[in-house]
Amino acid sequence: MPKAAARKPPRATVGRPRKEHARPDARNLILDAAEALFSTRGFDGVTIREVTALANVDTALAHYYFTTKQGLFDAVLERRAEEVFAERMAAFDRYEAEAGKHVTIEGAVGAFLSPLLQRARTGGVGWKNYFRLLSVVNNDPMHVAPSVLLYFDPLVHRLVNVLKKALPEASVADLYWCFQFLTGSLTLALSRTGRIDRLSSGLCHSDDLAAIEPRLIEYCASGIRCVCAKPRKTTPARPGAHESRTGQNR
């Protein structure tokens, strides 16, 4: 079983080569096709034959490179994972260096979201498919290899830690709840189902990430501020509407 990491050829030059797709090999053709199909129909909705047909290669090649369907799926997720991870971590580094002690919620949320959304907006179709695939696996963790989580979980902890600087009083539980709300919104934004197009009668387009990014950052930051600023110790309140006294003390 060939290790995926061992297959990447070393870069002769620094920086991003302008067009690496001069002559894509079969392996990358398969990955591209799989990325496109898995991202729209999920693991079980796609057959290897469809993937290889879209890639215009023989079916057996997929098994040659990836052994199993699950191996192919893992390889698709892993192909861009490290690059995304590094970019997002760098965004946090940059932001923390520039903000110093004056960390804002908007800044933290922006550092978390912007690298993703910018790549999803400006990247090629492969990147767009990749991010949609991320949103697929976020709701269906069934087929995601544990190793892939190492590229995503640390970013969540980093976000929570930076947020804690901006909101020293906030309970950690509230911060994680807010993260879940945030990532749910992000997931739906990246999945681009087109539902919002229909609902809004064409006012909004689900792939208009340029419209989504500023709104999403403001939206989440404001929500975090509100939830985390509210003392959550004892809220007996009146049991009228949705004011359930949660008693979730820290």
Per rule CB under 8 A, is residue 189 in the interface with its own copies? yes
Chain contacts with DNA (rule: CB under 7 A)? 25-27, 46-50, 57-61, 63-64, 67-70
The HSE-up count of residue 61 (CA atoms within 13 Å, CB side) is: 17
Q: Which does 25 bind (CB under 5 to 8 A by kind): its own copies, DNA, none?
A: DNA
Q: Which is nearer to DNA, 48 or 186 (CB)?
A: 48
Question: Could you say which residues in the range 126-165 bind its own copies, by CB under 8 A?
Answer: 135-136, 138-142, 153, 156-157
Measured distance CA(81)–CA(61) in Å, rounded: 23
For residue 60, the partner it binds in DNA, its own copies, none, with Cβ less than 5 to 8 A by kind, is DNA
36 forms part of the interface with its own copies (CB under 8 A)? no
Cα atoms found within 13 Å of the Cα of residue 12, Cβ hemisphere only: 1
The minimum distance between CB 42 and DNA, in angstroms, equals 12
For residue 144, the minimal CB distance to DNA (Å) is: 17
Q: Comparing C-alpha atoms, which of 72, 77, 41, 79 is closest to residue 57?
A: 72
Q: For 46-171, where are the alpha helices, taking DSSP H only?
A: 48-55, 59-66, 69-99, 105-122, 125-139, 146-149, 153-166
Which one of the spans 27-35, 49-57, 59-67, 202-210 is the region binding its own copies (CB under 8 A)? 202-210
Q: How far is the CB of 133 from its own copies (least distance, A)?
A: 12
CA 127 → CA 36, 145, 168, distances in Å? 10, 20, 36
- Spatial CA neighbour of 219 closest among 112, 132, 96, 106: 106
13 part of the interface to its own copies, by CB under 8 A: no
- Please identify, using beta-carbon distances, which residue of 57 and 117 lies nearer to DNA: 57
- Token pair, residue 10, equals 């070393």
85 binds, among its own copies, DNA, none (CB under 5 to 8 A by kind): none
